[in-house]
Chain A
Amino acid sequence: MEKWRLLIHGARDAFTNMAIDEALLISGKPTIRFYKWKPSAISIGYFQGIEEEVNLAECKKHGVDVVRRISGGGAVFHDEKGEITYSLIAPEEMLPENVLESCDKICSSIAHGLGYLGVNAKFAPLNDIVAGGKKISGSAQTRRYGNVLQHGTILLDLNAELMFSLLNVSAKKIEDKGIDKASKRVTCLREEVGEVTEEKLIKALVRGFEDGFGMKLAEGRMDGTETSRIDKLREKYESREWNFKR
């Protein structure tokens, strides 16, 4: 059976986290990485306007970092205490050529993994996983250097009030949803199945990926080439030029 690398990384700051994901994308070794964000942070999609999406004053007040991703999609609040982020890295030929199909494969593996925790979750195109009709996970994919990087958040707990005070949720985005509060469309593991530890969640997701991809994950480390790229990439992710380019 094919072997993939498992990286369990704990908490780092937003800029380092995005630098590591890009360093792994450059190398392209088949990898699943789990990590957290400390301090809490908002990541915005490649195409998003930082000031349009994020209440920067409120972020500053709460000590929340803001970083632009290399992947498209929407803004995500990575609560230090309430989520696990995953990333999947692999050469393009190891995944469906079609982006949506590959997103389906990855998200369905995660949904399957959440099943081990008793959550009835499924992929909701384009890039979400829902449980009971509410979003519990959101992902974004990019392809560069002949490799695929998909990263996304899985909510353990939800501080909706804080989340929506940090994000400027567009009135247009929710106008046809028939509900006035975007927070009613989001759920978390605590709401679905009660308290779940990070370790338990990671274990379930590991099984989900192994089943979904027919591979085996073995815990490993970043290699020297990957590690050597982190500092330079981190500088980019921390720069005003990058974060405020839109």
Chain B
Amino acid sequence: MKAGNGILKGELKVKGGKLVKCSLSVKNGAIEHIKFTGDFFMYPEEKIEELEKMLEGVECTEEDIKERIAPFFDSVELMGASMEDFIAVVSMAIAALNKS
């Protein structure tokens, strides 16, 4: 993988059995597109698309990602996963980037 570019994936099994996964593309060290998938519950459901849009262009560091998405989680109700799980799964994906 070229430094700062590529498709990255993260997968996390939450305690209790639910899965949170993410797949993201990186361009010049920032998130280009990101998709979260899994069998968790989020209300309202369509908000997930907002979260994904919100992360576009964010630098691939855990701090930047955390800062950007934290306020989002005040606007949704989660079941089977937490905000920390979402942050962890993105961190897991970008860890591969930072290693390359």
Interface residues, chain A, CB within 8 Å of chain B?
Answer: 45-49, 52, 70-75, 99-100, 125-127, 140-144, 170, 172-173, 175-176, 246
Contacts of A246 in B (CB 8 A): 35, 37
- The smallest beta-carbon distance between B48 and chain A, in angstroms, is 6
Contacts of A99 in B (CB 8 A): 41, 43, 77, 79
Contacts of B19 in A (CB 8 A): 170, 172-173
Residue of B nearest to A100 (CB): B79
Interface residues, chain B, CB within 8 Å of chain A?
Answer: 11-13, 16-19, 21, 23, 35-45, 48, 77, 79-80
A46–B79 contact, CB under 8 A?
no
B39–A72 contact, CB under 8 A?
yes
Residue of A nearest to B46 (CB): A46
Query: How far is A100 from B16 in the complex, measured between Cα atoms in Å?
Result: 14
Q: A126-B18, A173-B17, A176-B13 are in contact. Are A47 and B37 (CB under 8 A)?
A: yes
Which of A73, A142, A176 contacts B43, CB < 8 Å?
A142
- The smallest beta-carbon distance between B75 and chain A, in angstroms, is 14
| 14 A–B pairs (Cβ distance < 8 Å), ordered by A | A46-B45, A47-B38, A71-B41, A73-B41, A75-B39, A99-B77, A99-B79, A126-B16, A127-B80, A172-B19, A173-B13, A173-B17, A175-B13, A176-B13
- The smallest beta-carbon distance between B14 and chain A, in angstroms, is 10
Which of B23, B35, B40 contacts A72, CB < 8 Å?
B40
Contacts of A144 in B (CB 8 A): 44
A142–B79 contact, CB under 8 A?
no
- The smallest beta-carbon distance between A144 and chain B, in angstroms, is 7
A47–B13 contact, CB under 8 A?
no
Main secondary structure of the interface of B (DSSP, over half): strand
Query: How far is A47 from B77 in the complex, measured between Cα atoms in Å?
Result: 14
- The smallest beta-carbon distance between A51 and chain B, in angstroms, is 10
Residue of B nearest to A99 (CB): B79
Contacts of B43 in A (CB 8 A): 99, 142-143
Residue with the greatest number of chain A CB neighbours at <10 A, chosen from B13, B36, B45, B80 = B45
With A47-B39, A72-B41, A74-B39 already in contact, 12 other A-B pairs whose C-beta atoms are closer than 8 Å: A47-B36, A49-B35, A52-B37, A71-B41, A72-B42, A72-B45, A73-B39, A99-B41, A99-B77, A100-B79, A172-B11, A246-B37
Query: How far is A176 from B14 in the complex, measured between Cα atoms in Å?
Result: 11
B44–A126 contact, CB under 8 A?
no
- The smallest beta-carbon distance between A244 and chain B, in angstroms, is 12
Contacts of A74 in B (CB 8 A): 39
Q: A126-B18, A173-B17 are in contact. Are A48 and B41 (CB under 8 A)?
A: no
A47–B79 contact, CB under 8 A?
no
Residue with the greatest number of chain B CB neighbours at <10 A, chosen from A47, A100, A142 = A47
Contacts of B13 in A (CB 8 A): 172-173, 175-176
Contacts of B12 in A (CB 8 A): 172
Contacts of A75 in B (CB 8 A): 39
Query: How far is A140 from B80 in the complex, measured between Cα atoms in Å?
Result: 12
Residue of B nearest to A170 (CB): B19
Contacts of A143 in B (CB 8 A): 43-44
Q: A100-B79, A126-B79, A176-B13 are in contact. Are A48 and B44 (CB under 8 A)?
A: no
Query: How far is A49 from B20 in the complex, measured between Cα atoms in Å?
Result: 11
